[in-house]
Amino acid sequence: MLKKIQQRFLRKLTDKNLNDRDISKLNDAVKTLGFLVDEELFNDFEKLYSISEKMGLQRKDVKIFTFMQVKKKLPSLLQNQINNKHFTWKGEIHNQSAKEFLEMKFDVLVGYYNSKNDYLDVMVSSSNAKFKVGFSEIDKRLFDLIIKEDPLQVDRFGNELIKYLKVLNKI
């Protein structure tokens, strides 16, 4: 029962964030890049860094933050990770690293997950990123650019991302 209430609050928070979004800086060039990754889907982060290198970005300009669904509250030493236990029943985030990641003004944020996930949806909608990229299986309102590609095919996804960012004069 509590989980259903939490899911409802997460969806309401996502809708609120989408309505409040500032899109005035949508066309800025890419100087910083963020990845919000579902760790159950993908965890080879070096491939994500290689995409950014192809874009001409240095490693210091790229941040990767991950989400992991857990059944029990387990301590984690990873700084750039959040799990479902870090969300209150009202959908508020209680993870300082996650809050700092979402407050960063990325030029592009990539939501690297391809199945419905209310936690990640809230994070993407809460992000201060100027331009958001995601996969076609997710809520299309969250993203400015949707790429229909298998997320496990990282090289193909990277090529598509770079191609469209060039078309949009972002790189």
State the total domains in the chain. 1
Helix (H) or strand (E) holding 108: strand 108-112
Q: Are 143 and 131 in contact (CB under 8 A)?
A: no
User: Is the model more confident about 77 or about 126?
Assistant: 126
Average pLDDT of the chain to the nearest whole number? 89
What is d(CA 125, CA 41) in angstroms, rounded to the nearest whole number? 20
From the list 5, 1, 159, the residue with the least C-alpha distance to 90 is: 5
What is d(CA 155, CA 161) in angstroms, rounded to the nearest whole number? 10
Of 19-28, 93-102, 126-135, the one with minimum mean pLDDT is: 19-28
What is d(CA 56, CA 138) in angstroms, rounded to the nearest whole number? 28
Average pLDDT on 132-153 reads 92
User: Is the model more confident about 134 or about 137?
Assistant: 134
What is d(CA 66, CA 37) in angstroms, rounded to the nearest whole number? 5
pLDDT band at 162 (very low <50, low <70, confident <90, very high): very high
| Structural domain for 101, as ranges | 2-23+30-167
From the list 82, 80, 45, 46, the residue with the least C-alpha distance to 65 is: 80
